[in-house]
Amino acid sequence: MDRQEYLNQISAVNRPAKKSKTSFFASKFFWVGAIGVTVLILIILIGAILGNGKTSDKDKMFGLILHIDNTSELIETYQPNVKSSDLRSYSASLYGVLSNTSKELTDYATEKYNYKAKDAKESIAEEETTAKDELESELFEAKINGILDRIYTHKMAYEISLITTREAQLLKSANNDTLKEILTTSYDSLENLYDKFNDFSEAN
């Protein structure tokens, strides 16, 4: 073995082994961090979705006022065409309750939120307008087909159930005595009228 080969052997033996490089993306710190960030993003997204799905009491009230006013307007339009005197009487009572509830809720909302009908969210206003248009279409069809009394009584019973459901939702979260009294009075009056409409028969 010549001198050069000998030196090469010694060099190979004494040369420090190369450290294997661990990829940053394969390290446990990277994956712990990545999972943490992913969980945080999911929590934020879920919170945003749930937050957007909630309707504030203010928006609920504005929507309720619009719905009551729209229903009152249709009662005023179609009540004169109802044939049954009993049904016209129930309808007049319903109109009175809704008008009174609308006035009191509007006064309350104006004082608390400076309410104006145009202030209702566009989505709420559109929803209430669509509901009104659908109801008006059904009542008009019933009128020209000579079955207004039958359809009118069913639709008014349904409107009462919708309004009282929304009043009950507002009552659950209401912490103002004036608002509670407005909603409770309206709810009780409408409940009594619901039975009148629901039990009405053209044979009576």
pLDDT tens, residue by residue, 79-97: 999 999 999 999 999 999 9
**Is residue 37 situated within a structural domain?**
yes
- What is the average pLDDT across 162-177? 95
My answer on whether 80 and 180 are in the same domain is: yes
**Is residue 149 situated within a structural domain?**
yes
**Is residue 1 situated within a structural domain?**
no
My answer on whether 115 and 179 are in the same domain is: yes
Amino acid letter at 47?
G
**Domains in the chain, number:** 2
pLDDT tens, residue by residue, 14-58: 555 555 555 555 566 656 666 765 655 666 555 444 444 457 889
Q: Which residues contact 121 (CB under 8 A, 6 or more apart)?
A: 59, 62
pLDDT tens, residue by residue, 110-157: 999 888 877 788 889 999 999 999 999 999 999 999 999 999 999 999
My answer on whether 47 and 89 are in the same domain is: no
**Is residue 3 situated within a structural domain?**
no
Q: What is the predicted pLDDT for the residue at 44? A: 52
Specify the 3-state DSSP secondary structure of 174. coil
Question: Which pTM was predicted?
Answer: 0.72
Domain CATH number, residue 98: 1.20.1260.10
pLDDT class of 77 with cuts at 50, 70, 90? very high
Q: What is the predicted pLDDT for the residue at 165? A: 97
Range of the domain at 46: 26-55
Place of tokens 């069913």: 154
